[in-house]
Amino acid sequence: MQRSAHPPVEWLVSRGLVPYATACAFMGERVDAIAAGAARELVWLLEHPPLYTAGTSARPADLLDPGRFPVHNSGRGGQFTYHGPGQRVGYVMLDVGRRFGDVRAYVAALEALIVDALAQVGVGAETLAGHVGVWVPRQEPGADQTHDKIAAIGVRLRRWVSSHGLSVNVAPDLEHFSGIVPCGIADAGATSLARLGVPAGLDELDGALRAAFERRFGPTCEAETSTTAAVADALAPA
């Protein structure tokens, strides 16, 4: 558990669907400001419209339906993933160098955070050796694949400050995952809280994520007025 005397991390939840390019532009500016000591660390929770993102290791053959949704090259680690309504995306902008000094330790901490949060809403999730992300045992007896993925992780570091982060399937359209090979794993299934019969929605998961974050990373605070104003400006129609 990574606890230390760091200032509280700002916490912001955006309602509605946030365009992917807009979110990435804001993250880039915020990462630079954090690295320069001009802004505090931030966790930003949001939803995107349906889209696919390609990480730095994405293989073109894993995009099975290229015309289905917009495809964005993300700059994060990992391969293809899907984002869409009903999925909680968490963009985590932290000084990883100061907090961890090691990217693998940071990714492991994000995985543990999600496992902790899902336990709070009644889901027994786990990590799998050799696969980044968070998984749950498959319910169907006799299935070849023993686990389904409920949460993905993909991070990017610039000047040791992180961007991108995590996504947790609350109640997305799981059929949308069929347009890609998720995270490059051909036989991996995707699941969600809704598919598992768990009634928790976005708000309940958000509370669980924040409580787990505070236990594992340290205190949070509501986003400052300057942060909410910057996000509002970024989201305003041109």
Catalytic sites, residue numbers: 183
Distances (CA, A) of 196 to 122, 191, 236: 10, 7, 36
Residue whose C-alpha is closest to residue 50's, from 173, 171, 149, 154? 173
At 208, the amino acid letter reads A
Q: Do residues 49 and 19 lie in contact, with contact meaning Cβ atoms separated by under 8 Å?
A: yes
